[in-house]
Amino acid sequence: MKEIEKDLGFCYKHPDIPASAECRECGAPICKSCTIHGPEGKGDFCSTTCRDSFYEYQQWLSENAPNPFEHRFSLWAWIKHLSTLFILLAIIWGALYVMTGELTPTAQFRSIFDLIRALF
């Protein structure tokens, strides 16, 4: 599959030379002679300031960003979730009792299925 080339315009330092990349930090169009490569060829930058700023931020992110895969056990959270579940089940059971007049879930569902069968 062919990669679509983006028209970058001209280098911001050399207005007569077409840009070959854009700065990964500030987005400025840059020519090949102005390009400063990041470590291991990761990213093109217009200046060492942009390069250093970008990698300082990446370092800060890796140290301070929350880990989405880090799980913590919280007894209080489990109690809240279980109590919510029991309340919802009680509401559903109460609604079925009002609809059918039956106390046991088996009888309630049997009555509901009989009502549904009567519709068809």
pLDDT value at residue 56: 92
Give Cβ neighbours of residue 54 (< 8 Å, ≥ 6 apart). 24, 25, 38, 43, 45
pLDDT value at residue 4: 47
Q: C-alpha angle with apex 93: 88 to 95, nearest 5 degrees?
A: 95
Low-confidence ranges of the chain (pLDDT < 50): 1-2, 4
**Torsion-angle region of 103 (φ positive above 0: left; ψ -120 to 50: alpha; else: beta):** alpha
Q: Provide the 10 A C-beta neighbour count for residue 25.
A: 20
User: Which of 44, 3, 5, 7 is closest to 27 using CA atoms?
Assistant: 44
Q: Where are the domains of the chain?
A: 1-66, 75-119
- 14-35: pLDDT as tens digits: 999 999 999 999 999 999 999 9
